[in-house]
């Protein structure tokens, strides 16, 4: 029982930390995407079950990290595609 309480106490903090890592490692998709996804899952569950504000912050930072990562890589793909196909 005590282990389960400790897990709940830590999940919102882990979510926030992983969301920040997701934002800071935006150029490394293999780090940014998994940490962002885990931050979203942990943040959503923490916010939904316990109403923790840090869980919401982890959810938001995870979403921002994944969004920025996808924006950068989609933009790079478009630029590469447009350079190869000159109209």
- pTM equals 0.83
What tens digit of pLDDT does each residue of 15-48 get? 999 999 999 999 998 999 999 999 999 999 998 8
* Nearest residue to 15 (alpha-carbon basis) of 69, 55, 49: 55
Domain limits at 71? Answer: 2-84
CB atoms within 10 A of CB 60: 17
The pLDDT of residue 35 is 96
Q: Give the residue carrying structure tokens 């903090």.
A: 13
- Of residues 40, 43, 33, 44, the one with CA closest to residue 71: 33
Query: How many domains in the chain?
Result: 1
């Amino acid at each position: 029982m005590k282990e389960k309480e400790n897990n709940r106490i830590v999940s919102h903090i882990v979510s926030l930390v992983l969301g920040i890592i997701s934002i800071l490692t935006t150029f490394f998709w293999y780090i940014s995407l998994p940490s962002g996804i885990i931050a979203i899952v942990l943040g959503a569950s923490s916010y939904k079950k316990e109403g923790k504000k840090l869980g919401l912050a982890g959810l938001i930072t995870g979403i921002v990290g994944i969004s920025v990562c996808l924006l950068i890589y989609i933009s790079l793909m478009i630029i590469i595609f447009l350079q190869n196909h000159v109209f």
